Chains A and B, each alone.
Chain A
């Protein structure tokens, strides 16, 4: 079975961590994954960098740029990920923008994901219609989950459509925002989370964008099956020893 499905069957309050591949140093990709699993992360989202990340705020923009400047690309990332499953057992998703995937070839991309033990993908600017019409077959053939995002503005009918198309989890944005904004759960957000909860979706949900610490994580977990931390983690590993900064960041989630 796909590791993502298994995780959601077995666990609540899932903590997923996003980080940018090849950042702070090109060679760090696998070491960060191993350190995260060791310090208690339940799932990983490894970002493959893109030159024009329109859905990202300054921190992930900067990490993407640094990673690219240091020579990261999809080919190199898949090389590195050959070692992923030596020590990492938790589910791993790749997250990034569609153009690098198109240039790599969608079929080739899905095949490479499967070969290195990646369980799913999040490609925010790959539209549902194109996915359904052209690419879904490749994802299914390689047993990859493709995760879609929804925001407070996503219409109910569309949420059901997304729920039908996806088979990992649904990525619930706390608000329509670029990455790195803080989670503010006001009445409107609460109503929205509640509305989603009552829709009885077939997929589980994870809340992302704006989760930065234990407090915001716990809050998110009261509305969903877990939450995703990105910007705050990327910031935390900027300098210094990877092992130390990862375990330091993860301490409060123990």
Chain B
């Protein structure tokens, strides 16, 4: 339990709840109730039922043969891309919508980058008949048009965030402002392991189903539930935290988190937070973020909207600082090439976010027989425009 949250809401030096008083009652209500609600037998039953029948879990753990040949190790893909709505994000939104209902909330708000979390939120709101407002940066609305249409079909109101870089960070600001102005009946479904305590812990718990299943599936397929490596991409860090969760305390399993280098870590157009960032406070928690010496948040860049965020969750900051996790980065081009490679070798078109994790395989050296799990966090349908432009398809 060395890497889990403590009773004050911290992971080592990181975490806490740096929020204005206006948000305190809502966040405190969550803090006091989330563990109790999640542990409740009925909650667990309903959660797992929906995971199975609605989301389609367990998601397969697929031994990718041709990829394995290429890298000289056993490469397993955890197929979160096969989930309903096409990414891991739905694990969290199902959990949070059930929790919001238990808290008696009537209205749901969320931020979204790639639109995957927005779609996953709009989906569960349709499912449970709750009002839904999604904040999305203007830039992202443009580059993720199909997801905007999906959210609208699902009955959500999509509100453009037009401040700052007009991407995920600004959508998050707008969602927080909405929550301040709607202090009683609204629940904010944060889409990653970021935000004030208890969000990072709560989202990690809902996403931990990824590694819970992976362990069982590995045992069945390899005879051991202990891989040599697990890899995942990191925007805020929720698919990575889900993938790391049940392996964190097993120091034999190497954790590799892949950030977006954008056009290169030194190009000025990057989202490689651990490389470029410093400790500070963003969106309610103390973590590592990209900022000027004066503490102004720097606008990130990544070709993938879901990784285009200047911070990482506090638990990731802790894994990074303690050295438990290895944090690396992959450029826009490397990720797109890796996306095409997976498509051609395995017939799977990955989300560009997930392609960042795949791209790092190129840079690793394996011993024969090593078992490697890559979290394939989402499918690439939403990214076709970007692929088309890059490869002149």
Chain B residues numbered 179-197 whose CB sits less than 8 Å from any CB in chain A: 180-181, 183-184
Binary interface profile of A, 140-162, with partner B (CB < 8 Å = 1, else 0)?
A: 00000000111101110010000
Given A52-B169, A125-B284, A176-B183, residue A150 in contact with residue B294 (CB < 8 A):
no
Contact with A98, one of B18, B22, B296 (Cβ below 8 angstroms): B18
Interface presence of A181 (CB below 8 A)? yes
Q: How large is the interface on A (under 10, 10 to 19, 20 to 34, 35 or more residues)?
A: 35 or more
Interface presence of A249 (CB below 8 A)? no
Inter-subunit contact B295/A149 (CB<8 Å) = no
Interface presence of B322 (CB below 8 A)? no
Contact with A181, one of B24, B163, B181 (Cβ below 8 angstroms): B181
Interface presence of A59 (CB below 8 A)? no
Interface presence of B280 (CB below 8 A)? yes
Most chain B C-beta atoms within 10 Å of own C-beta, residue among A125, A126, A129, A155: A125
Contact with B295, one of A101, A126, A154 (Cβ below 8 angstroms): A101
Interface presence of A104 (CB below 8 A)? yes
Interface presence of A54 (CB below 8 A)? yes
Contact with B296, one of A51, A102, A151, A155 (Cβ below 8 angstroms): A51
Binary interface profile of A, 163-185, with partner B (CB < 8 Å = 1, else 0)?
A: 00000000001001110010000
CA distance A1 to B215 in the complex (A): 65
Min Cβ gap A243→B in Å is 30
Min Cβ gap A82→B in Å is 18
Q: Give the nearest-CB partner of B278 in chain A.
A: A103
Min Cβ gap B116→A in Å is 23
Interface presence of B291 (CB below 8 A)? yes
CA distance A101 to B24 in the complex (A): 21
CA distance A172 to B163 in the complex (A): 28
Chain B residues numbered 260-318 whose CB sits less than 8 Å from any CB in chain A: 278-284, 291-297
Report A-chain residues with C-beta under 8 Å of the C-beta of B16.
127, 130
Contact with A148, one of B21, B183, B294 (Cβ below 8 angstroms): B21
Inter-subunit contact B20/A50 (CB<8 Å) = no
Min Cβ gap A65→B in Å is 8
Given A54-B180, A125-B281, A177-B180, residue A149 in contact with residue B17 (CB < 8 A):
no
Most chain B C-beta atoms within 10 Å of own C-beta, residue among A51, A129, A154: A51
- Chain B residues within 8 Å of chain A by Cβ, number: 34
Chain B residues numbered 119-138 whose CB sits less than 8 Å from any CB in chain A: none
Inter-subunit contact A178/B180 (CB<8 Å) = yes
Binary interface profile of A, 97-126, with partner B (CB < 8 Å = 1, else 0)?
A: 111111110000000000000000000111
CA distance A124 to B163 in the complex (A): 21
Interface presence of A16 (CB below 8 A)? no
Most chain A C-beta atoms within 10 Å of own C-beta, residue among B18, B25, B181, B280: B18
Task: Choose the segment among A23-31, A37-45, A67-75, A232-240 that binds chain B (4+ C-beta atoms closer than 8 Å).
Answer: A67-75
Report B-chain residues with C-beta under 8 Å of the C-beta of A65.
163-164
Interface presence of A231 (CB below 8 A)? no
Report A-chain residues with C-beta under 8 Å of the C-beta of B173.
52-54
Inter-subunit contact A153/B181 (CB<8 Å) = no
Binary interface profile of B, 1-34, with partner A (CB < 8 Å = 1, else 0)?
A: 0000000100000001111111011000000000
CA distance A173 to B21 in the complex (A): 10
Contact with B18, one of A61, A126, A176, A177 (Cβ below 8 angstroms): A126
Q: Give the nearest-CB partner of A56 in chain B.
A: B177
CA distance A99 to B286 in the complex (A): 9
A-B contact list, 10 entries, CB within 8 Å: A54-B283, A99-B282, A100-B294, A100-B295, A103-B291, A125-B281, A125-B284, A127-B17, A153-B25, A178-B177
Which residues of A are at the interface with B, using a C-beta cutoff of 8 A? 50-55, 57, 61, 65, 68, 73-75, 97-104, 124-127, 129-130, 148-151, 153-155, 158, 173, 176-178, 181
Which residues of B are at the interface with A, using a C-beta cutoff of 8 A? 8, 16-22, 24-25, 163-164, 169, 173, 176-177, 180-181, 183-184, 278-284, 291-297
